[in-house]
């Protein structure tokens, strides 16, 4: 039979079998197999491995797109030396995911503004996606507003159920949810729905004792904290603000400036700038489709 006809027929068969990576690359592998006299089994195994690797790569690309993680936030870029109470080995172990995500356990990052909680949360999310887990990163206030709209349209339960496709839901800045009964009630329902089923990673500026500012009902506060900490790893990140340190370094490296504040007014200006936990240049995280 004409080799050109054989190739055309093989292309059609691979399309029918939905093997796009083999369809695209089989000719190159065949040429190499002929040159190096591969056994048939090696040639077939190489094609199969190529298809599996390409499927994994495409899946990770899709999951990274849907995760909406912050750009540039990686574990390599996180300054573990500046956070001595945080074990890098323990964080790296959590990035495998199988010791907690498959059990529906949680991870809580608690500490003052500027300590790197958001960076660390997004970086852990990235590592988990690369290890095969589905993750969604969102500001807590954005997701709460989305869930409120769903409740108004009588679709809150369905909206929460759609979030089940994510093994890990990262809720950034829990303390910035306004103290409103309608908002905090949908947040509580989300926490309750995922309890012992799907994992949460939460960053918060306030210790648990101050969560009454988030949940106006004391009973709801206790219930929410109880569900979150029951199966949880808790990191308390109590360090000086990274942004404050960076601002100080910029001042110290300026031409003719001593390695201290030029004036007390400069010190106050830096301190005021650090009151916001999110950097001014951080892009807004789109709300998920639920």
Residue that finishes a domain, picked among 220, 236, 252: 236
Same domain flag for 141 and 30: no
- The pLDDT of residue 255 is 54
Query: CATH code at 132?
Result: 3.40.50.300
Same domain flag for 19 and 111: no
Same domain flag for 84 and 54: no
Is 114 inside a domain boundary? yes
Same domain flag for 229 and 130: yes
Same domain flag for 79 and 166: yes
For residues 110 and 234, the answer to whether their CB atoms sit within 8 Å is yes
Is 197 inside a domain boundary? yes
CB neighbour class for 238 (10 Å; exposed up to 12, middle 13-18, buried from 19):
exposed
DSSP code for 137:
E
Q: Based on the structure, what is the number of domains in the chain?
A: 2
Q: What are the tens digits of pLDDT across the range 148-184?
A: 999 999 999 999 999 999 999 999 998 766 666 777 8
Same domain flag for 221 and 80: yes
- The pLDDT of residue 245 is 58
- The pLDDT of residue 208 is 81
Same domain flag for 119 and 220: yes
**β-strand pairing of 232-236 with 106-110:** parallel
Q: Is-above-0.95 flag for pTM?
A: no
Same domain flag for 31 and 108: no
- The pLDDT of residue 156 is 94
Is 108 inside a domain boundary? yes
Same domain flag for 152 and 57: no
Strands (E), 205-248: 232-236
Annotate 95-115 with DSSP letters as a single string: TT-TTTGGGT-EEEEE--TTS
Domain holding 50, by residue range, is: 3-66
Is 281 inside a domain boundary? no
Is 175 inside a domain boundary? yes
Order across the sheet with 168-172: list the strands: 135-139, 168-172, 199-204, 106-110, 232-236
Residue that finishes a domain, picked among 19, 42, 66: 66
Is 247 inside a domain boundary? no
Same domain flag for 56 and 80: no
Which residues of the chain fall below pLDDT 70?
1-5, 176-180, 240-289
Residue that finishes a domain, picked among 18, 48, 66: 66
Q: What are the tens digits of pLDDT across the range 66-109?
A: 999 999 999 999 999 988 889 999 999 999 999 999 999 999 99
Same domain flag for 21 and 125: no
């Amino acid at each position: 039979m004409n080799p050109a006809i054989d190739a055309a027929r093989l292309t059609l068969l691979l399309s029918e079998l939905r093997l796009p990576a083999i369809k695209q690359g089989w000719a190159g592998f065949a040429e190499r197999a002929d040159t190096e006299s591969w056994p048939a089994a090696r040639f077939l195994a190489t094609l199969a491995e190529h298809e599996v690797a390409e499927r994994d790569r495409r899946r990770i690309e899709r999951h990274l797109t849907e995760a909406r993680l912050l750009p540039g936030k990686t574990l390599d870029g996180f300054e573990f030396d500046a956070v001595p109470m945080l074990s890098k080995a323990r964080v790296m172990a959590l990035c495998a995911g199988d010791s907690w995500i498959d059990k529906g356990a949680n991870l809580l990052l608690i500490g003052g503004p500027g300590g790197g909680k958001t960076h660390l949360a997004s970086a852990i999310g990235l590592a988990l996606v690369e290890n095969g887990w589905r993750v969604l990163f969102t500001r807590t206030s954005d997701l709460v507003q989305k869930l409120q709209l769903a409740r108004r349209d009588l679709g809150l339960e369905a909206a929460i159920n759609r979030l089940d496709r994510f093994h890990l839901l990262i809720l950034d800045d829990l303390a910035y949810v306004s103290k409103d009964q309608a908002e905090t009630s949908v947040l509580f329902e989300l926490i309750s729905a995922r309890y012992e089923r799907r994992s949460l990673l939460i960053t918060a500026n306030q210790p648990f004792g101050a969560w009454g500012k988030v949940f106006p009902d004391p009973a709801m506060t206790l219930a929410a904290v109880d569900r979150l900490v029951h199966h949880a790893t808790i990191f308390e990140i109590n360090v000086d603000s990274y942004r404050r340190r960076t601002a100080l370094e910029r001042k110290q490296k300026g031409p003719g400036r001593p390695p201290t504040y030029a004036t007390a007014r400069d010190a106050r200006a830096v301190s005021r700038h650090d009151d916001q936990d999110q950097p001014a240049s951080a892009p807004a995280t789109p709300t998920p489709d639920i």
